[in-house]
Amino acid sequence: MVRSQIALGISHLMNNSRSSIATPKSLGYHWPAEWESHEATWISWPHNRKTWPEKFDPVPNLFCEFIRTVARFEPVHVLVQEDISRSVWNDVSAIKNVKLRQITTNDCWIRDYGPWFLSHAESQQQAVVDWRYNAWGEKYPPFDADNQVPGQIAKLQSLDVFRPGLVMEAGAVENNGAGVLMVTSQCLLNPNRNPNENKQSIENFLCEFTGASKVLWLFEPGQGSLAGDDTDAHIDQLARFVSTSTIVACREGNRLDVNYLLLEWLHHQLREQTDASGKHFDVIDLPMPAPVYHNGQRLPASYANFYVGNGFVVLPEFGCAQDKIAMGILKDVFPGREIIMINAVDLIWGLGAFHCVSMQQ
């Protein structure tokens, strides 16, 4: 087992090399599915008021509710700034099963800049993949502190680190835990991430650093995103694996809605996709909520941005009739897990929801 930090040059995988460079896959590591057993959940405390302009005040209480909910089921590590107020420190640290970690961040979206925790097939050994992070194509500088978070967490836990050298966000990659990843070309082939890479080289990187064998590519570059989405079509806003063979995918019932055609095309493509053995997936419709606006801006509200943990699922609630329908669907696809809805209307003004603000270990 390797006990050092490992960096992999871009050119090796571009040339499909499997020779002298040790990758996680070659060493027996894999990236578990989100519904597999967690050791903990990692969350970054919100402090960047620019993320919720003129509406930051409700956000800390909302994060406390989310942290408290997750901590009922599994340990929670919360990244906090060194200058965090004493009142916040006391409030969060008082929650049972929570540990505060003094690691500086620029923002709270740990799903996209946090470490990808790998497990080993034949041991209890874990490792971390530390992708580069550039705030969704350098849209929201600065992001230097966020880019350092995976390495700091790995050091804190004495874990090996694999550094592919590519920009990648976990919200852009869905994982069925059985060798299949799901992504959108709109995001991964966007020149604002890795302009010198192509579909094949990115697919090679993803497979070598997660242990996967197949990547499902949805949409085409420039095809579009959900209204209000600033991530260039992250898959966790559109479609999610809920088992090795089942996908829930957003669908818009209103033919006049701006998202209707995009989501119909999503379902058309998903019906053509197959797993690692060539079997078609079961695809289940997940409704879209009623449109959510703030200051005249359409927000990227989506029930697909749920978080799965040990015995629970946290599902965004938007105060509309579709909430109960979405909850019923999640109950059916996650039997035995408690489905917990938390109102996400204030959170979504920051353009993300509960999956975006959490990372499983």
Residue type, 291: P
3-state secondary structure 101-148: EECCCCCCCHHHHCCEEEEECCCCCEEEECCECCHHHHCCCCCHHHHH
Tokens of 336: 């035995």
54-64 residues labelled b (16+ CB within 10 A) or e (exposed): eebeebbebbb
Tokens of 234: 């992250």
> Which of 11, 31, 2, 40 lies closest to 309 in space, CA to CA?
40
- The answer to whether 39 touches 307, Cβ cutoff 8 Å, is no
Cβ count near 123 (within 10 Å): 9
Surface-to-core class of residue 240, CB atoms within 10 Å of its CB (0-12 exposed, 13-18 middle, 19+ buried):
buried
Kindly give, in sequence order, each residue whose CB lies less than 8 Å from that of residue 220, ignoring residues fewer than 6 positions away: 185, 186
> Which one of 64, 108, 250, 356 is the catalytic residue?
356
180-202 residues labelled b (16+ CB within 10 A) or e (exposed): bbbbbbbbbbbeebbeebeeebb
Catalytic-residue membership of 356: yes
Q: Which residues are catalytic?
A: 356
